[in-house]
Amino acid sequence: MNDTQEKLVWIDGQILPADQAAVSVFDHGLLYGDGIFEGIRIYNNRIFKLASHLRRLYEGAQSIDLKIQFDQDRLADALRQTVKANNRENGYIRLVVTRGAGTLGLDPYRCPKSTTFIIVDAIKLYTPEDYENGLPIITAKTMRNHPRALNSRVKSLNYLNNIMGKVEAIKAGVTEALMLNHEGNVSECTTENIFMVRDNQIFTPPLSANILAGITRQTVIELAVQSDLPVHEQDFTRDQLITADEAFLTGTAAEVLGISKVDEHIIGSGKRGPITGQLMQAFTQLVAENAPED
């Protein structure tokens, strides 16, 4: 796809030019952040971890009592159809399900039908230098949502908690912020899961730290285990993170990205570490030709 080609969006069973695809101003996704989404990568015409993303989407919908108007097979076909319509061999998919149009007021049951749409586009959040040298990040003052208030395992349209952390990062002159949970432990960054390396062992916060159950996170854990690198899903503190040998982020957009610095603290050598580099290479090889769709 070239930059001049018209972008096409799938919305509730129709493919429309992007400037004609619209949701109602009465949609509760817009009014109240009531809905869910998935960000998915395309590699060489294959939708990476398609089944895993759809499974997470439908689990999230069930947990907030949101009925998706299409079954998983129909939605999988719609994703492939939209990728093909946009002639996008590599890129990014944003799959969104909102509560749909309804009346003013919070009552979700006054929205008779949910709205589903699919956007396919390019994405590039980080530079080649970021991947080579690692990313400096800050620690956000904004606390990660308490799991009993809003469970981070639901990839909700209500992203204000993450956005406020991102605002802190941008104002500090960096692109990412570390977020701590209500217990003071490391949770995740605003858009990525986080890992640290100590003594050739890998640590990442457990799901109970109120993190997203990241698809890329799980893939990297599996790649590490295949390489005989021990992985521990356990709580750790910011103090433990800043004294780590290495640290890195994982996410759909970021893939695998080293951390060079947290606040004023240099991590390891101050550049991407060797285990981070090993996992970056393993991930690149995994998606290079035959990215798994399961």
- Residue 158 in tokens: 């209500």
- Return per-residue pLDDT of the chain as tens, 294 residues: 555 679 999 999 999 999 999 999 999 999 999 999 999 999 999 999 999 999 999 999 999 999 999 999 999 999 999 999 999 999 999 999 999 999 999 999 999 999 999 999 999 889 999 999 999 999 999 999 999 998 888 999 999 999 999 999 999 999 999 999 999 999 999 999 999 999 999 999 999 999 999 999 999 999 999 999 999 999 999 999 999 999 999 999 999 999 999 999 999 999 999 999 999 999 999 999 788 888
Nearest to 260 by CA among 240, 275, 246: 246
Quick one: pLDDT at residue 5? 76
Quick one: pLDDT at residue 290? 83
Quick one: pLDDT at residue 4? 60
Query: Quick check: 32 and 157 in contact, CB under 8 A?
Result: no
CATH of region 8-121: 3.30.470.10
Distance CA 53, CA 94 (A): 11
pTM of the model as a whole? 0.95
Angle, in degrees to the nearest 10, between helices 274-288 and 215-226 = 110
Q: How many other C-beta atoms can be found within 10 angstroms of the C-beta atom of residue 105?
A: 10
Q: How many other C-beta atoms can be found within 10 angstroms of the C-beta atom of residue 171?
A: 10
Exposure string (b/e) for 106-141, b if CB count within 10 Å is 16 or more? eebeebeebbbbbbbeeeeeeeeebbeebbbbbbbe
Q: How many other C-beta atoms can be found within 10 angstroms of the C-beta atom of residue 53?
A: 23
Which SS3 state, helix, strand or coil, does residue 188 take? strand
Quick one: pLDDT at residue 150? 87
Catalytic residues: 155
Pairing of strands 14-17, 35-43: unpaired
- Residue 139 in tokens: 């620690």
Distance CA 231, CA 293 (A): 24
Query: Quick check: 220 and 161 in contact, CB under 8 A?
Result: no
Given CATH 3.20.10.10, say whether it is the number of domain 128-288.
yes
Quick one: pLDDT at residue 2? 53
List the domain boundaries for the chain: 8-121, 128-288
* Alpha helices (runs of H) in the chain, residue ranges in sequence order: 28-32, 50-63, 72-85, 128-133, 160-171, 215-226, 238-242, 274-288
